[in-house]
Structure 1
Amino acid sequence: VISVDTERRKYYKEVKLPARVKPDTAKASYKNGVLEVKLEKLEKGRERGTRIVVE
């Protein structure tokens, strides 16, 4: 989700990505009117799961 809310401009855009990503690696820059967002893809088989203890 990309959201900008300033005095001069309001903008909202949601983009579906073709692969799963690591959200904590997100980096963004805005130069010359261009927003660039970089994310790292999760490697196949490296997705995090939740450990469940079996009693």
Structure 2
Amino acid sequence: LNDGAAATPESLKQHVRDNLANYKVPREITVLDELPRSITGKLSRKDLQDRLKDA
């Protein structure tokens, strides 16, 4: 995205639908303010899965 631009889940899904094969289009898009990180700064996949289960 460009600075100051915003994307909605619907606009992202439409962009993906326009540019990828149908089987690659996600059923659902969840927008997070930030990705969970471990103490070392790496992506915490376990915390990410937990957040998505709660959403």
TM-score bracket for the superposition, by shorter chain length: under 0.3
Q: Which has the higher helix share?
A: 2
Between structures 1 and 2, the one with greater strand share: 1
Q: Which has the larger radius of gyration?
A: 1
Length-normalised TM-score, structure 1: 0.23
